[in-house]
Structure 1
């Protein structure tokens, strides 16, 4: 899929970064993800009244938040329409992982690509947040349209999006293109992060962070290889981690694909 076609799915909102419809993406069997069912974004606190007006017609049933309590208290999710809200931290409430949950000084000073890839390696295995997400996805008629998000809508949301899209039969190659699109949609967000980093590190260390903190194939690859390393097959992973059987998967596909 050309990145222009990917960019077309970005909703131009005033106060929210990286809000996009996951519909229109092709699957291996030649079908496409229906538009208007699966949405992803960065945090929603800055949403303007105009944004809300534009999002109301989506008739979201659920907003699913991957952030931890501390993040959500500082930047709470607004109510758009009649949707339900659920929040289960991908990295637990114990502040053990993920950018926003580390002490910034330590995060910026000790950042390496390998360390960041390790966070990705751990995310998809035995994770209460993704377990809940997939449990909800198993009943699409009750829970879609859904908007899932974290702070930047790139790391925790990127792994969540990979799980949803792969369940629907999208190739890893296409999933990777969609993942890397956040480098284009989050230019301003990344600049803000780099400005914050510059308060703690400088020179080569800052440059190293700016380069490494952009999304790289290495990161999502770490999640994907972790799944295959632990389970051998994606279908087996779905079944053992989430109780999503082959017939569940077909039912979800029939609901979400055209």
Structure 2
């Protein structure tokens, strides 16, 4: 059975499955386990039934306290809401240990987005949010799924997606393509189309991945590799997990490719 990456909902348009990408050791990211989305405050009753049927039992909200208050998620039966709040609020947003950059020899970026993404990795509040998402995924039962989201489903959601896909050994080009799909999906919504897998494949083939990866995704990937040497070391030394946790994570969310 062909899996559909984009889940068709009345709202939001940017609700999609993170599965299907090739990861570590030729294994594939499992379908119907991890979902990413934009805000979930305008869903119809039909949408909520669909999410319940997808067995999504954890909703990780990466938005600020004000966003959550003004536009609260519309929850569905059986789901547990988890307040993450990925960005530090107020004066804490740009706070990071002054010696981190020097100690880890981190790359410098000229563009705004990679600077912000790098700052998220260095900020203690954001670090705790990243860790919370991985903790939720590590304790998720086998027959259940999780969704994480922000407002547009791009920056905060994109950062978490990059980290999850890095953890699972997905290559940078594919990570960049997944990141860029958000903009393309909003174009589809303007044209009132629902993108099929074939349409998405055509869109991906036309993407200027180098341009898209440069100003955004590399803010995460290059910072981790240059600062910590590998994702494994970032996961253990920065986030405080054990290597066994990472191996468990990979066993939970990777599977062997099915033969034709």
From 64, 80, 99, the equivalent of 1:84 is 80
Q: What's the counterpart of residue 152 of structure 1?
A: 152
Matches within 5 A, 1:55-74: 55-74=51-70
Give me the whole-angstrom Cα distance separating, in 2, the residues matched to 1:225 and 1:157: 18
Match of 2:258 in 1: none
Cα 1:142–1:61 shift into 2, 3 Å: farther
Displacement, 1:96? 6.2
CA contact (8 A) 2:57 2:79 kept: yes
Q: Please say if residues 65 and 149 of structure 1, whose CA atoms lie closer than 8 Å, have aligned partners that are also in contact.
A: yes
Structure 1: state its 5+ residue gaps. Answer: 99-112, 191-214
Give the direction of change, closer, same or farther, for the CA distance of 1:20–1:172 in structure 2 (3 Å limit).
same
From 219, 223, 226, the counterpart of 1:226: 223
- Deviation, 1:117, is 2.5
Give the superposed CA RMSD: 2.6
Q: Which residue of 2 aligns with 1:49?
A: 45
2:238 paired residue number? 241
**Is residue 21 of structure 2 the alignment partner of residue 25 of structure 1?**
yes
> 1:184 and 1:169 mapped to 2: Cα distance?
24
TM-score relative to the length of structure 2: 0.75
Separation (CA, whole Å) in 1 of partners of 2:143 and 2:241: 16
8 Å CA contact 1:23–1:32 kept in 2: the answer is yes
Q: Unmatched 5+ residue regions in structure 2?
A: 95-109, 191-210, 256-260
1:52-111 deviation per Cα after TM superposition (whole angstroms, max 9, x unaligned)? 12221111121001100011111101111211111121111327659xxxxxxxxxxxxx
Task: Give the direction of change, closer, same or farther, for the CA distance of 1:89–1:59 in structure 2 (3 Å limit).
Answer: same
State the 1:11 CA deviation.
Answer: 0.8
Q: CA deviation at 1:23?
A: 1.2
Separation in structure 1 between the aligned mates of residue 71 and residue 24 of structure 2, nearest angstrom: 38
Secondary structure of the residue aligned to 1:40 is: strand
Q: What is the Cα deviation at residue 37 of structure 1?
A: 0.5
Cα drift, residue 40 of structure 1: 0.4
CA contact (8 A) 2:137 2:146 kept: no
Q: Does 1:185 align with 2:185?
A: yes
For residues 9-20 of structure 1, the aligned pairs below 5 Å read 9-20=5-16
